[in-house]
Amino acid sequence: MWSQGKWLLCLLSAMLIVSLEMGAAARTWAQDLVSSSIAPKTGQVSDPNPPPGYQQDAQGRLMRVIFDPASRIHVGVGYGVISGGQDLEDEWEVSYGIGYRSLVYLKGGESDLSWQLDHRIMTGWFGGSGSISGSPALVTTAYRGTYLHHLIDGHLVFPGTPPMRLYFPFDVGADVEVGRLQILHDFGQPASASPNALRLGVLRASLLLDPWRSARPGNSLELGVGLSYDLDIGQTRQSEDYRVIHHVAPMTLGSVRFRTQDASGLTVLELDADAEYAWSSEDRWDWRFSAQADLQRTILSINDQPLVATARLSAEYGPLPLETEPMLQISAVLGIQATICLR
């Protein structure tokens, strides 16, 4: 019997191979489809100035080639594996969400100021594996906003006579998450083998520093420190009474987030890691860790709407809702998403 680590290593290798093969096959199929399509009407004239983000082929037909991966509605399906304790099971999921990115530029030479405002609304997934004790059946976030402020000539100013100005090597920003709901598969069942509980993330807020200071949208290295407030609601294994436990991380939440995308928005990579030391209303402190890697690749577009292949690897370590002993859960999922562009 292979260990769980070997299974996950094999799955990761397969994820990379499948992503590359899907992209190559889609490009070949698209080229064959274009070459065999009906020619345009006689007399069609090529536009010397196509709209931004579009290109024309030799016959003058427009096609979109640049996308904003952060501004779209998506619905997708995925399949993979999840590991919890000593168990390893397959899982499926349905993903969904709305995202929108707005950019603000104030041009003024070296004082060119920009804001990148990323909004994610009702984003998450449901499904999972009911065979793993304590595994989530639904994870969804009502709102997450990331706001980054970029200044070409970053600086600190100390007021005085005269004022003192010093170089500042970071972009600054904030990250806010409200209403993150995690429901376990065992929710609604007698709390015998596993807790009958859910976790509600009421608020997470972090101040961000970005040493990369990239002026390209979707490219950042965000170092954060902040606070969080969560609620565990449900029944423990020892009692049939419903309980509510509060968890507070008072500026003891640390995060690292790396995001990058290519110039055309076809490939997106996001790496996210959190560590928090939270106080519980049961008068104890708990460590919780999480890490996630997301890869997205647009393999083709249908009427200028992208079809996206996805791969996700995630790990969480910490007590389950209403539990005291930490547990490690690892999952890896391959999927496909249908999207509608919002800009």
Per-residue pLDDT tens over the stretch 180-194: 999 876 666 655 555
- Residue 246's pLDDT band (boundaries 50, 70, 90)? very high
- Residue 305's pLDDT band (boundaries 50, 70, 90)? very high
pLDDT of 316 reads 93
pLDDT of 40 reads 45
Task: Write the CA distances from 145 to 70, 75, 121, 296, 308, integer angstroms.
Answer: 12, 20, 9, 20, 23
pLDDT of 35 reads 46
SS3 content of the chain, % helix, strand, coil (to 5): 10, 60, 30
Per domain, the residue ranges of the chain are: 4-27+66-341
pLDDT of 133 reads 62
Closest CA to 186 of 243, 230, 237: 237
The chain-wide mean pLDDT, for the chain, equals: 83
Sign of CA dihedral 124, 125, 126, 132: negative
pLDDT of 6 reads 52
pLDDT of 132 reads 60
> Is residue 130 predicted with pLDDT exceeding 90?
no
Residue with tokens 């490690």: 328
Residue type at 63 in one-letter notation: M
Q: Could you read off the pLDDT of 19-76 as tens digits, one per residue?
A: 555 555 445 544 544 444 444 443 445 566 788 888 888 888 889 999 999 999 999 9
Q: Could you read off the pLDDT of 253-286 as tens digits, one per residue?
A: 999 999 999 999 999 999 999 999 999 998 999 9
